[in-house]
Amino acid sequence: MKRDDEPDDAQTRALAWREAFDQSFVRAPDDRKVERHDFLAIQAGGGRYALRLSEVTGLQALKSLTPCPSRRAELLGLSSFRGQVLPVYDLRVLLGSGTARERPAWWVAARDGPLGLAFDVFECHLRLPGDAIARAGAADSRLFTGETLRSGEQLRPIVSIPSILQRIREVVQQQRPQHLTEKN
């Protein structure tokens, strides 16, 4: 039998809650801010990828595309974004994740150069802490994807838009006729 001076379960819980409440004022507040990074989750050629939002200046449906004659299979054509005409490249072909069977439905404009990248599906916006980003291992490292993003149980290669832009510039420079690249 319980004695009168023994606390019951409700009293024990109330005392524990009160102690926890009081202790929350004793501890110093946690001032560490978790740095968050923004990404666009996309699909291109059957693969799931992430694009850094900081490398993108716009996202839109790929409605109009003016064909542009080129020997480059990845160049889809030209499109307009905020009054600027941009070459639009097929991200599926650039990543080696398939050939273009159907026209991509979406495209992004690159922040640091005249470049558009087209892909199949825009899934969502992701805001994740820095520890969700990891360097891709040697076996996982592919062209233009040196980092991996963990979102829940899913891993997505992070596409580096600046590295794509740099590679396209190098290819264009190599293909220019000699007399156009020489300085007078």
Strand 116-119 with 84-90, pairing: parallel
Which DSSP helix (H) or strand (E) runs through 93? helix 91-94
Q: Can you give the pLDDT at residue 177? A: 67
Q: Is the pLDDT of residue 34 over 80?
A: no
Instruction: Find out whether 108 and 165 touch, Cβ atoms under 8 Å.
Output: no
Q: How far apart are the first and last CA of the chain?
A: 105
pTM above 0.85, yes or no: no
Q: Please report which helix (H) or strand (E) contains residue 166, including its range.
A: helix 161-175
Distance of CA 14 to the CA centre of its chain: 47
* % of the chain beyond a pLDDT of 70: 83
- The whole-number pLDDT of residue 183 equals 57
- What's the pLDDT at 137? 63
Hey, what domains does the chain have and what are their CATH numbers? Answer: 36-175 (2.40.50.180)
Q: Which residue stretches of 1-70 are H helix?
A: 9-26
